[in-house]
Amino acid sequence: MRRHLSGLIIPVMAVLYAMASQAQEPVQPPKLEFAFEVRAQVADPLVVGELPNGTRRIIDILGGTVEGSGISGKILPGGADWQLIRREDGFTDIDARYTIETDSGSLIYVSNIGIRHAPPEVMERLNAGETVDQSQIYFRAIPKFETGDPDLEWLMRSIFISTGERYPNGVVIRFWRVL
């Protein structure tokens, strides 16, 4: 059996190589379509403490609004953003989880995993609760949605990216569907 399988390796590799050499380069990158915007009110950070890999903070999500062409509603209280902030430069790992209730009463679970960084002095001011120039901050995430509403299935059948802006008492997140 072993001898028989080894005889198949070269022909299979030749077929795979031929297929790869015929593959065409993509004509253009995927496009983005604006889906909706979240404006969330957040509590003051709860600092869990200094850990070996940074400072752990939890920011409760108090509520907010959702507006877009395919969805509108509100952010329910009870979600949070679990952050890990590096001491040396303020680079932040973001893990936000919350629930949207649409105007029609459907629920959507959101898990938005991402990163936020800027020059260290900007991150220090931002993490201290100051208003900073948002153009200096790289704030991106990859959301995942779960819902039982068949009309909102498109949220679970597409890839999205999000951009964020952090203000002293809130966050603005814009969601873009990758086409």
- Is residue 144 assigned to a domain? yes
The 3-state secondary structure of the chain reads CHHHHHHHHHHHHHHHHHHHHHCCCCCCCCCEEEEEEEEEEECCCEEEEEECCEEEEEEEEEEEEEEECCCEEEECCCEEEEEEECCCCCCEEEEEEEEEEECCCCEEEEEEEEEEECCHHHHHHHHCCCCCCHHHCEEEEEEEEEECCHHHHHHCCCEEEEEEEEECCEEEEEEEEEC
pLDDT digits (tens, 9 = 90+) for 24-62: 777 899 999 999 999 999 999 999 999 999 999 999 999
Which CATH number does the domain housing residue 63 bear?
A: 2.40.160.20
Counted domains in the chain:
1
Task: State pTM to two decimals.
Answer: 0.83
* Residue 9 lies inside a defined structural domain of this protein: no
- The parent domain of residue 123 ranges over 31-178
pLDDT tens for 87-144 read: 988 999 999 999 999 999 999 999 999 999 999 899 889 888 899 999 999 999 999 9
